[in-house]
Structure 1
Amino acid sequence: MVLRRENKNLASSITERTLHCWISSTANEKSKKPKKMQYTNYTKPTEFIFIGFTDYLPLRLMLFLVFLIVYILTLVGNMGLIILVNIDLSLQTPMYHFLSNLSFLDISYSTAIAPKMLVDFLASKKSISFYGCAIQMFFFACFADAECLILAAMAYDRYAAICNPLLYSTLVSRKVSFSLVVLAYFSGSVTSLVHVSLTFMLPYCRSNIVNHFFCDIPPLLALSCADTHINELLLFALCGTIQTSTFMVILTSYVCILITVLSIKSSGGRSKTFSTCASHLIAVTLFYGTLLFMYLRPTTSYFPDTDKVVALFYTVLFPMLNPIIYSFRNKDVKNALKKLFDKQGTFR
């Protein structure tokens, strides 16, 4: 009898332990399910709200006036160069074909950012729709990537003209220059489409407040509640490939140009070419430096305030400076402008 009672007690204790383990495991599964449901049933934001630069109204008004002037100068300078290249027969060469495309790209990606930024300086709520954000990101990334390839094509053109003048018409024919321009726009469109598609497939269940002044990839990745390692890897691979390879083409071309220039006996021609190459290299280094700083690092090292200032350089300031650096210091462009003004004076 004692043995039977002990067996019954042992069986009941085992049953109680089994039941307790089953209840606790069921409770754990139930506690995990809401988290999964919360992730899968997130609400897609209908808009994003930019923090911008400041909420202090007098400073916002001052910034509005400054960047409005910068944007107008960007439009006037680049549009003027495009018109000049198209109406002057002496400028219809591959070199100026690249320059006019550079001006078009400067206008395009600056226009993707600047008008919205100017409106936000005056608005109480700095918002953009979900799809508007995707469109802004696509056009900015497309034109910025295309500009990298156009800058490389320009450096190759200068290398062919200075280092291989006898083969220039073969190395940079109209067909070659047209193909390089098409490749630039095609590559920019494809890489931009990949980035935008992957970025806007992510769930944004943390917040819709973007600590930036436009829809850029790094600040949006920082808002996502999903794993963004694939996005970061593709950003690093695609941007790294385009930016690093084109920068190396530019650097190699200018090194070859400088070596050739050193063999020039005329000190005047040597100093002029040196000054031109130096200004181009400084501009290219600053442009690529800001891009590499922004896009070739993980989102964990994202510094919003610093990144906003850096982004101003390649979105607003460089498009204004490029016509001055690459074109209006050029003798052929100056002569074309002089002829144009002389014609205007004659008609009057």
Structure 2
Amino acid sequence: MSPAAPARGPVLPGRVTLVEVGPRDGLQNEARRLATDDKLALIRRLAAAGITRIEATSFVHPGRVPQMADAEAVMAGVPRDRGVAYAGLVLNPRGAERAVAAGCDEIGSVVVATESFSLRNQGRSVADTLADWARIAAIARGAGRRLTVTIAAAFGCPFEGLVDPARVVALAEAALAAGPDEIALADTIGVAVPTQVVDLFHRLRAVAGAVPLRAHFHNTRNTGYANAYAALTAGVSALDASAGGIGGCPFAPAATGNVATEDLIYLLDGLGVRTGVDGPAVAALAPWLEDALGHPVPGQLGRAGFSTVVPRADPRPPDGLEPGPS
């Protein structure tokens, strides 16, 4: 009797794009406000590590998110010699106009899946944010900017609990009518598990067609990395992450940090999924971040280091060509 063939796991892409959100989502919930020069130092080091998409700031009212009050100054100082696309988060048309004027390459906006959280996060009803999103999309398209919409609290809400997947899909369909270049689902409070992630992204794919899918996970309950893996099996091509795992939403109680960029790279390296990012270089940021923020960061690889036991994916594409999905 011949030996049984080894079991094969889900098909994974050959490459995934990491979107570094530390300078925005990572810093917006910090008690200590980093100086503009410190934010730019962080961005430069992330770019030097090979990150090609960085969410640099948000164009929101400084009274609501004072950590982002220097948005224009940050964008004026970002390095432009490394081919990085810089994104700005906006919540209304005025924010979109500011982001375009400041030179953002990408415009991101948010539609929250529940009324309670939408009112807390944006001070607007879901219907109003969808109307704002359509106007934001028109401004971004008119300026030739890449455009992403995120359905936030897609898996659970701190005020309303479990979110009906059918509601998320309906909101996604409405948001897709404005023609985004990418659509994301965010587990804003870190409650999802992999089965939910696979189910909801498969549902989203059914209505999104060829529009690329992106995922944003928080590791509040230690499921963020498993959820990132699950998202890749469901066709997601871009994953958000934050250096050191810092971050959280100031309007979502107990929503702790994002998945850590360096920890996620370690997982992806071991799976053979290329990111093009130097994971150890990102991990080396941990001491600097801890000193700048005044507290330890949640990420593990800054302390544990990259193991030589697990083979690392070659970050360089063969023969100078970008690999497509496997």
Larger relative strand fraction = 2
Structure with the greater alpha carbon radius of gyration: 1
Give TM class, smaller chain. Answer: under 0.3
| Larger relative contact order, structure 1 or 2 (CA cutoff 8 Å, min sep 6) | 1
TM-score (norm 2): 0.25
TM-score (norm 1): 0.24
